[in-house]
Every structure is written in structure tokens, then in C-alpha cells.
Homo-oligomer: A and B are copies of this chain.
Amino acid sequence: MRIGELAERTGVSVRALRYYEEQGLLTPERSESGQRHYSDKAVDRVRLIQHFYAAGISSAAILEMLPCVVTGEASPHVLTKLHEHRSSVVRQIEDLRGTLQQLDAVIAGAVRAHESGVPCPPG
């Protein structure tokens, strides 16, 4: 498929797909005229990349990990990196749980205030 279709199927912009290629995360075939052509597997790869981005993992780090994501192979160094990222993700989840509690406390307080007729700040 061409870049527009991949963009549509993944929900990622055309610009982003070209950017992924710049970063070495995606290496499509090229037609005679220079147009990019992607296999179906690219859809999953793009989703994986987005997953990692969402976890705060940088392009460079993703690039480092991608070969072993694809082939199942990893050098000890890459394995160490993988564990580091895992820990980071776990930490993020814990932090977000804390934030959730904060938000819930705020919401509960606000609801109580609303029920007891306390005036509201502008907004």
C-alpha cells in the first residue's frame, strides 16, 4: 500500500510516517518513481511504534529495540535497555495511579461542595 492508505489504516499522519522513516523506524520499498510502498506488516509496526512513543520511549531507544522486536533476538545490552524501559513503564503506571487518587479526591471534594451549595470559582 502507499503512504496515504497506511496513514488511514493506522490513524497516523503521513508526515509522521515519513518522520518514522527518517528515524530509521520504518523502511518501505520504493517504486520506480520513488513512491513509498508498505507491506501489511507495517500496520502493526506503526502501532507498536505509537505504543512505545506513548510510553515515553524515544525514537533512538525504539530504534535500538526494534530489531529484537522483529526477530526475537537481543544483545545483552539491548536486553538491559528493555528491562530499563520496563521499569520506567511500571513507574509511570504507579505515578498515574497516584494522580488518579489525587483527581478522585478533588472530584469527591468538588461534588460534596456542590451538594452543599458552596459557590463556585469562575469557569
Contacts and interface: CB of A to CB of B under 8 A. Distances in A.
A95 B64 contact: no
Interface in A72-123: 72-79, 82-83, 85-86, 89-90, 92-93, 95-100, 102-104, 106-107, 109-114, 118-123
A71 B69 CA distance: 49
Nearest to A75: B120
A96 B79 CA distance: 19
Main secondary structure of the interface of A (DSSP, over half): helix
17 contacts: A54-B92, A54-B95, A54-B99, A55-B96, A68-B121, A72-B106, A72-B113, A74-B106, A75-B123, A76-B114, A76-B120, A77-B123, A79-B114, A82-B110, A86-B100, A93-B93, A93-B100
Interface of A: 48, 51-52, 54-55, 64-65, 67-69, 71-79, 82-83, 85-86, 89-90, 92-93, 95-100, 102-104, 106-107, 109-114, 118-123
